[in-house]
Amino acid sequence: MKKGAILLLSGPSGAGKSTLIQGASDAIGDYYFSISTTTRKPRVGEKEGVDYFFVSKEDFEEDIKAGDFLEYATVHGNYYGTSLKPVRIALSQGKLVIFDIDVQGHRLVRAKMNAITTSAFITPSTLEALEQRLRARCTDNESVIVQRLQNAKSEIEAIDEYDFLIVNDALDQAVQEFIMVANVARLKQNSEDKAKFILEWFSKE
């Protein structure tokens, strides 16, 4: 049975993370896309349990106290977090667990599950290109766009914390790079796996 693994994806809003996952889905094997829980209101067209789990601030904070989140962070004044339960189930089934996560969340997951985690930062090549994408999708007002661009300036400085950088200017090329990163994530071995292999290797003498 294949071993489960974690692939963390970060990058500015509008970088095209969801588009890359969709483009690579047929080539990366069995995977589970982690659905976040948030306290923000649903946008037009978003569905409960598909895009996010939408909860109240009070319920979210109760789950924090209970230790039910792998990671959580505050973004644009709202909580976002990842429940541990579906992640554990997917890993036990040998799936690649993919997270679309911010820089804060990346650091928290790395601290807890680094042995089975690979990460990639996804971004267009310039701030100007990112702004064009944010304006073209027509989902945010001017103040939100300005805030997202400001956040992107600080997020980009964290690239060195990631295993890989995917520059998403040419979609076909970026999809192929994403597929390679996903395959590498599945191949990552933790210390326990390596120690077990060594014992088995010697036992066959």
Distances (CA, A) of 123 to 59, 90, 98: 33, 27, 17
Q: Answer whether 106's CB lies under 8 Å from 98's CB.
A: no
How far apart are alpha carbons 118 and 189 in whole angstroms? 11
Tokens found for residue 1: 């049975």
pLDDT at 1 over 60: no
User: Which of residues 140 and 169 earns the better pLDDT score?
Assistant: 169
Q: What is the extent of the structural domain holding 161?
A: 5-203
pLDDT at 170 over 90: yes
pLDDT at 190 over 80: no
The burial of 23, by beta-carbon neighbours within 10 Å (0-12 exposed, 13-18 middle, 19 or more buried), is given as middle
Domain count, the chain: 1
pLDDT by residue (tens digit) across 65-123?
998 888 888 988 999 988 887 888 899 999 999 998 889 889 988 988 899 999 999 99
What CATH number does the domain containing 15 carry? 3.40.50.300
- Which of these, 97, 119, 115, lies nearest to 30 by C-alpha position? 97
pLDDT at 25 over 60: yes
Residue-wise DSSP of 72-128? EEEETTEEEEEEHHHHHHHHHTTPEEEEE--HHHHHHHHHHHGGGEEEEEEE-SSHH
Looking at the DSSP assignment, which residues form a beta bridge with residue 65? none
Q: Sheet of 164-167: strands edge to edge?
A: 31-33, 96-100, 5-10, 117-123, 164-167
Tokens found for residue 190: 């933790």
pLDDT of residue 151: 86
